[in-house]
C-alpha cells in the first residue's frame, strides 16, 4: 500500500530554559520551538521540533513549515522523496537558513512516522541497536560561580567530558571559567570550550596558543562559521583540535569545510545538516575524511543517529525542548539511554505545550 502525507501542522512555543542559555553573543532566556506533527494517509503521526534561538523568527519558521508542508500533502510520505521535492521547489533560492530548517523538521517527523509504522525505535529502523550513547555535559552558563554550580549538577549524571562557552571577555576570563569548571568536575574530566564564532583569526590563534596548557578536548568555532579558510589558518597554527560543523547548512558546506582542512572534528546539527536524510548522507563523508562526529542539540534523535554513525564521538547533552516533551532524553552514567520504543523518542506533553504556546 502506498501511503501519502495527509497533513503537516506546526505550533510555536516558548519553552522554559532554566538556567538560560548564555553565549558570547548574548543570552537565550527561553527556547523558541516549532513543534511539527505530520500525519500520513494511514493515520500514523510523526513528531519533530525545531529550535530557532530567538522569538523574532519563530512566526516566520512556523509559517515556512506550514507552507512547505502544504506543498507535499497528497504526495509520497517517503522522507527522501519529500526532501528532494522540497529542495527542488526551492532550488532557485538555494535552500539554506530557515528553509533548510523547515525541510529538516518535516524530514525528521517523516522518519518518526516510518519508525512508528514499523513498530521500531528509529535506531533499529536505521540498522543500529538502542545502546547507550556517550555524551558530554554542555553548560549553559558562563560566569565562573554559575559554572561551578551548574557543572556540579551535571557531574551527578556521570559525564566524563564537559563543554563551556567562553569568549565573552579576555583571555584571563577564559582561564577563570575553565578553572571553575575543572574545580567542579575534577582533574580527570575532559574539557572543551566554545567561542561561538567571536574571535578574529589572529586573536583566535593567540588565544588558543595561550590555552594550550589546558589540554582541551577541542576548541569550537573560534571564528566565523563561514570562514573555512580562516579556520584552516587557525588549525595549522595551533595544536589543540578544532571543532566545526554545527553551522553547516547541509553536506555541501560540510564537504567544502573538509576540503579546506578547516577542522579536526565534525559536529552535526540535525536541523541544519538536512534532517535524518541529510545526516545519513553526511556521516559517511566525515568518516572517509577521518573526522570524529559529535552532535549539536536534539539529544533524542541525535542519539539514534550517532548510534549508526561510523565515526561517532560524543553527543551534546543540552536539552532545550525538555519543557514540552513527555519523556526528555535520559542520562545514565554519562550516556544518553535510547528508549526501545517505536519512533524517534519525541512525544509532546500537551499540557506543557498549551501552557507555553506562543
296 in catalytic set: yes
Asked whether 167 and 24 are in contact (CB, 8 A), the reply is yes
CA distance 262 to 75: 40
Please state, rounded to an integer, the average pLDDT across all residues of the chain.
Answer: 97
Contacts of 350 (CB under 8 A, 6+ apart): none
Give the length of the chain. Answer: 358
Put simply, whether the predicted model's pTM sits higher than 0.75 gets the answer yes
Q: pLDDT 10s per residue in the chain (358 long)? A: 799 999 999 999 999 999 999 988 889 999 999 999 999 999 999 999 999 999 999 999 999 999 999 999 999 999 999 999 999 999 998 878 999 999 999 999 999 999 999 999 999 999 999 999 999 999 999 999 999 999 999 999 999 999 999 998 999 999 999 999 999 999 999 999 999 999 999 999 999 999 999 999 999 999 999 999 999 999 999 999 999 999 999 999 999 999 999 999 999 999 999 999 999 999 999 999 999 999 999 999 999 999 999 999 999 999 999 999 999 999 999 999 998 999 999 999 999 999 999 9
Residues 223, 199 contacting (CB under 8 angstroms): yes
pLDDT tens-place string over residues 185-197: 999 999 999 999 9
> What angle do the packed helices 171-185 and 144-155 form, to 10 degrees?
30
Measuring CA to CA, which residue among 94, 112, 93, 108 is closest to residue 33? 108
Q: Which of 163, 165, 231, 265 is catalytic?
A: 165
Domains and CATH numbers, the chain: 5-119+351-355 (3.30.390.10), 124-348 (3.20.20.120)
| 163 among known catalytic residues | no
**Backbone dihedral region of 290: left (phi > 0), alpha (psi from -120 to 50 degrees) or beta?**
left
Separation between Cα atoms, residue 289 and residue 235, nearest integer Å: 16
Q: Which of 47, 163, 231, 296 is catalytic?
A: 296
Joined together, the cell numbers standing for residue 4 give: 501519502
Q: Assign residue 79 a region: left if phi > 0, alpha if psi is -120 to 50, beta otherwise?
A: alpha
Amino acid at each position: 500500500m502506498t501511503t501519502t502525507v495527509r497533513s503537516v501542522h506546526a505550533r510555536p512555543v516558548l519553552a522554559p530554559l532554566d538556567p538560560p542559555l548564555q553565549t558570547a553573543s548574548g543570552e537565550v532566556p527561553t527556547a523558541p520551538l516549532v513543534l511539527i506533527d505530520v500525519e500520513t494517509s494511514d493515520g500514523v503521526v510523526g513528531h519533530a521540533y525545531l529550535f530557532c534561538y530567538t522569538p523574532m523568527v519563530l512566526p516566520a519558521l512556523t509559517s515556512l513549515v506550514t507552507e512547505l508542508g502544504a506543498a507535499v500533502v497528497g504526495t509520497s510520505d517517503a522522507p527522501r522523496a519529500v526532501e528532494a521535492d522540497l529542495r527542488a521547489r526551492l532550488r532557485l533560492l538555494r535552500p539554506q537558513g530557515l528553509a533548510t530548517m523547515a525541510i529538516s523538521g518535516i524530514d525528521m517527523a517523516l522518519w518518526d512516522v516510518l519508525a512508528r509504522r514499523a513498530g521500531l525505535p528509529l535506531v533499529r529502523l536505521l540498522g543500529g541497536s538502542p545502546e547507550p550513547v556517550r555524551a558530554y555535559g554542555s553548560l549553559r552558563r558562563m560566569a565562573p560561580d554559575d559554572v561551578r554550580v551548574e557543572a556540579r549538577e551535571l557531574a551527578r549524571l556521570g559525564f566524563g567530558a564537559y563543554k563551556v562557552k567562553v569568549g565573552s571577555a579576555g583571555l584571563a576570563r577564559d582561564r577563570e571559567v575553565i578553572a571553575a569548571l575543572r574545580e567542579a568536575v575534577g582533574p580527570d574530566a575532559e574539557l572543551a570550550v566554545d567561542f561561538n564564532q567571536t574571535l578574529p583569526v589572529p586573536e583566535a590563534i593567540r588565544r588558543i596558543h595561550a590555552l594550550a596548557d589546558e589540554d582541551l578536548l577541542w576548541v569550537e568555532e573560534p571564528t566565523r562559521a563561514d570562514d573555512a579558510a580562516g579556520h584552516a589558518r587557525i588549525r595549522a597554527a595551533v595544536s589543540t583540535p578544532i571543532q566545526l560543523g554545527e553551522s553547516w547548512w547541509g553536506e555541501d558546506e560540510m564537504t567544502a569545510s573538509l576540503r579546506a582542512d578547516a577542522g579536526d572534528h565534525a559536529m552535526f546539527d540535525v536541523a541544519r545538516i538536512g534532517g535524518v536524510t541529510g545526516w545519513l548522507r553526511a556521516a559517511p563523508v566525515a568518516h572517509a575524511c577521518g573526522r570524529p562526529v559529535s552532535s549539536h542539540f536534539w539529544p533524542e534523535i541525535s542519539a539514534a543517529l550517532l548510534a549508526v554513525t561510523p565515526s561517532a564521538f560524543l553527543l551534546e547533552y543540552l536539552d532545550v525542548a525538555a519543557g514540552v516533551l513527555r519523556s526528555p532524553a535520559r542520562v545514565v552514567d554519562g550516556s544518553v539511554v535510547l528508549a526501545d520504543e517505536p519512533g524517534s523518542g519525541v512525544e509532546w506533553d500537551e499540557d506543557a505545550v498549551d501552557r507555553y504556546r506562543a
